[in-house]
C-alpha cells in the first residue's frame, strides 16, 4: 500500500538513496533538507521527489514544515530521521556550540519529527519511524563525543518510543550504518580511510543503497513485527 513518507536530509547521500528506494516501492516521498537550495532543486528535477526546507533541530520550524507537508501532500505515515551533521574534535578542544549543534540536530531532530508525526500515526493506527544511528554510536569513536553521544541516544530513543507505538500499529526502529561511500566519508583523508577499511571484515565501504534497502524493509508491511530494533549494516565492523 502506498504511503506518504518524509526523509530528513533526504536530498543527498544516504538520504537520497532512501528517498529513491521508498519512491521505487510506490510511496509518495518528500525529502527534507536544511541548507543547499541549488542541490535540492537539482535533486527534485532528477528524481521528481519534492523537497521541503526546514531545520529539523528547530522545534517550531519542524512542526510547521510537517504541517505544510500534511496540507499539501497528505498525512505522513513514514518518517526516516536521517538528517545529521558532524562537528568533530577531541573533548578538550570541542566548543559547547559544537556539542550543542550536533545534539540539537542529530538527536533533537528525531524528537521534533516524532512530535510532529507520531500523534497522527497513533490515530490512524499505522506508522513507521526509522532513525538512522551509526556504528560510532554503538562502538564510540575518538574525536566524536558529540556525534557518538547523539547517535547512541538515537538507539535509546528508538527503544522507548517503540514501546509507546506498538499497540497503535506504529513501529519504531533504527539502522546503524557503518562507513558508507558518501561525500561525508570521501572527505576523510586517504590514509585514515585505508585504516578504517582495514578494520571492516568484508573489506570495503558500504553503499548508500544497502542502507536504503534496510529502511525500505522496515517501512514495509513485512516489517510489522519488527519494532525497537537496531539493524546494523556495517560489513561486520562492529558486532554485538
Query: SS3 for 51?
Result: strand
- The residues assigned a catalytic role are 147
Q: Are 104 and 57 in contact (CB under 8 A)?
A: yes
Buried b (16+ CB within 10 A) or exposed e, 28-59: bbbbbbbeeeeebeebeeebebebbebbbbbb
Q: For residue 131, give the H/E element and its range.
A: strand 127-132
Q: How far apart are CA 160 and CA 152, in angstroms?
A: 13
Q: What angle do CA 63, 49, 104 make, to 5 degrees?
A: 35
Amino acid at each position: 500500500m502506498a504511503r506518504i513518507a518524509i526523509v530528513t536530509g533526504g536530498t543527498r547521500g544516504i538520504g537520497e538513496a532512501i528517498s529513491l528506494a521508498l519512491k521505487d516501492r510506490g510511496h509518495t516521498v518528500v525529502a527534507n533538507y536544511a541548507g543547499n537550495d541549488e542541490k535540492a532543486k537539482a535533486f527534485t528535477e532528477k528524481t521528481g521527489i519534492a523537497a521541503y526546507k526546514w531545520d529539523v533541530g528547530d522545534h517550531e520550524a519542524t512542526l510547521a514544515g510537517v504541517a505544510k507537508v500534511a496540507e499539501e501532500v497528505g498525512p505522513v505515515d513514514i518518517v526516516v530521521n536521517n538528517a545529521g551533521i558532524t562537528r568533530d574534535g577531541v573533548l578538550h578542544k570541542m566548543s559547547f556550540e559544537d556539542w550543542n549543534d550536533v545534539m540539537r540536530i542529530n538527536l533533537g531532530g528525531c524528537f521534533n519529527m516524532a512530535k510532529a508525526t507520531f500523534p497522527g500515526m497513533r490515530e490512524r493506527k499505522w506508522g513507521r519511524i526509522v532513525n538512522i544511528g551509526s556504528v560510532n554510536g554503538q562502538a564510540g569513536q575518538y574525536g566524536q563525543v558529540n556525534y557518538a553521544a547523539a547517535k547512541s541516544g538515537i538507539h535509546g530513543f528508538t527503544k522507548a518510543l517503540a514501546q509507546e507505538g506498538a499497540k497503535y500499529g506504529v513501529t519504531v526502529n533504527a539502522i546503524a550504518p557503518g562507513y558508507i561511500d558518501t561525500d561525508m566519508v570521501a572527505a576523510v583523508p586517504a590514509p585514515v580511510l585505508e585504516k578504517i577499511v582495514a578494520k571492516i571484515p568484508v573489506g570495503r565501504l558500504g553503499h548508500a543503497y544497502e542502507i536504503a534497502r534496510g529502511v525500505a524493509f522496515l517501512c514495509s508491511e513485512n516489517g510489522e513485527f519488527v519494532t525497537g530494533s537496531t539493524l546494523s549494516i556495517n560489513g561486520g565492523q562492529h558486532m554485538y
